[in-house]
Structure 1
Amino acid sequence: MTVLFSYRTVCKRLLLAIATLGIPAHVHAGVAPSFDCTHVEAGSIEADICASDDLAILDRQMDEVYRQARQKATDQHPPTLAAEQRGWIKGRNECWKSPDRMACIRDQYQLRIAELQALYRLVASDGPHVYGCDDAPGSEVVITRFKTTPPTLVAERGDSVSLMYLFDGGGVYQGRNETFIEREDAATVTWGYGATPMQCRKR
């Protein structure tokens, strides 16, 4: 005899089975992140990651990239890296305030992964390239590009270092208070908040 169940009946039985097994409803059988999903709080950012294959994949990638960075940081103050990572997790968890939580979480992962890959030289790079600038005699900016997602470059000027991201195809890299606008063998560089742009040429 064929028995037909309504969609509502199937859903109720599925939820009952989940509850019986003691598995939180936000945990699914897809890709697992690097942490245990059975103990995360419902409605948390971790629950969002557990419920999304794409975010779970990014979390696993982050776990691997962070492990590689820790190996590189053995002689570079590893407590600093650990503290920065804790700060990043706190910032990621602030995505609950975003109108698009999933996009916010994804962006946080992609930017942090790219940052670690660039700062710890974990991916292929192009450079260093030296640009002489017109603001003062001997002034120069040294850049190294990295094949991250999104693309990044690390710029050095004197004792200062800036990580910049390329967010479009127009050759505009943006850091915290620095920009590097590339035009063939020349670049316009702004170094510091409110600073006057410098015209620089590749040497």
Structure 2
Amino acid sequence: MKNLWILSLSGLGLSFSVIASSPSPSFNCNKAQGSIEELICQSEELSQLDTQLQPLYSQAIKQLNLNDAKILTAEQRGWIKGRNDCWKADDKTECTRVSYQTRITELQISAASINVPSPTYYQCNNESALQLSAYFYNDTLIPAVVFSYHTAHQPPSEPAIGFITRTASGAKYQAQHASLWTHQQEATLTFFGQPPITCTMSK
């Protein structure tokens, strides 16, 4: 972390230094509670992520009715609790970073600060009545997909959001209860404890 920038005027044989203050998080570091908030205050990267998150959260709240705003507020409190639980992690900084990155991505999507991509549709071969729709977000902080599925006899499922994870080929997105792997024209949807469902992009 560099807070000291050296500016040289070589032609004049002069040099001087400017002390640049580190970015501060959205909360008062003098009132930081717990080791994770203290860690955020000490980290330029984590402080920047915190200040990036707050306007997205405020924007999302303004777009909701009173009841939905209460739900988002409760979700945000739950997220803060989960972020602060990173004190249990072996790598506290990485845990906190990922927590911010996924939450910011969620808020970018819910606050509509990112253009909604065109949907991609899949027909699932071993579930002939099942159709999968996916919105691939590549302009969010981390790549993500919002997907849902339906059958001829069932309404669309609640949309799930998956965040990209490392994979040998293609792109794999991990949601709370399922994963979606895509490669070229194919996709594999896997629910925890269930056999994979293979799908092909609809023309």
TM-score normalised by length of structure 2 = 0.78
**Structure 1 spans left out of the alignment, 5+ residues:** 1-28
Q: Give 4+ residue runs of structure 1 displaced > 4 Å after superposition.
A: none
Aligned to 1:83: 74
Q: Work out which of the two has the higher radius of gyration on C-alpha atoms and give 1 or 2.
A: 1
Aligned to 1:199: 198
Instruction: Give the conservation status (yes or no) of the 8 Å contact 1:118–1:153.
Output: no
CA distances 1:37-95 after superposition (whole Å, capped 9, x unpaired): 12224x52211111111111100001011112112333771111000000000011111
Q: Secondary structure at the match of 1:44?
A: helix
CA distances 1:111-161 after superposition (whole Å, capped 9, x unpaired): 111122234432134221111112434310110011223200000112232
Q: Does 1:112 align with 2:103?
A: yes
Superposition map of 1:146-161 within 5 A: 146=137, 147-157=139-149, 158-161=156-159
What amino acid is aligned across from residue 165 of structure 1 in structure 2? F
Instruction: Give the conservation status (yes or no) of the 8 Å contact 1:30–1:53.
Output: yes
Instruction: Give the conservation status (yes or no) of the 8 Å contact 1:145–1:153.
Output: yes
Q: Tell me the distance in 2 between the aligned counterparts of 1:187 and 1:117.
A: 25
Q: By percentage of residues, which structure has more strand?
A: 2
Q: Tell me the distance in 1 between the aligned counterparts of 2:89 and 2:193.
A: 28
Q: Tell me the distance in 2 between the aligned counterparts of 1:180 and 1:81.
A: 25
Q: Does 1:59 align with 2:50?
A: yes
Q: Which of the numbers 164, 167, 170 marks the counterpart of 1:166? A: 164
Q: Tell me the distance in 1 between the aligned counterparts of 2:132 and 2:67.
A: 23
Q: Does 1:38 align with 2:30?
A: yes
Q: Tell me the distance in 1 between the aligned counterparts of 2:130 and 2:199.
A: 9
Superposition map of 1:91-102 within 5 A: 91-102=82-93
TM-score normalised by length of structure 1 = 0.78
Instruction: Give the conservation status (yes or no) of the 8 Å contact 2:23–2:48.
Output: yes
Q: CA deviation at 1:99?
A: 2.0
Instruction: Give the conservation status (yes or no) of the 8 Å contact 2:144–2:162.
Output: yes
Superposition map of 1:178-193 within 5 A: 178-190=178-190, 192-193=191-192
Q: Identity across aligned pairs (percent)?
A: 34
163-172 or 142-151: bigger deviation: 163-172
Instruction: Give the conservation status (yes or no) of the 8 Å contact 1:118–1:154.
Output: no
Q: Tell me the distance in 2 between the aligned counterparts of 1:102 and 1:118.
A: 25
Aligned to 1:177: 177
Instruction: Give the conservation status (yes or no) of the 8 Å contact 1:119–1:154.
Output: no
Q: Secondary structure at the match of 2:96?
A: helix
Q: By percentage of residues, which structure has more helix?
A: 1
Aligned residues: 174
Q: Secondary structure at the match of 2:119?
A: strand
Instruction: Give the conservation status (yes or no) of the 8 Å contact 1:172–1:181.
Output: yes
CA distances 1:154-192 after superposition (whole Å, capped 9, x unpaired): 0011223211111236311111221211121221112x3
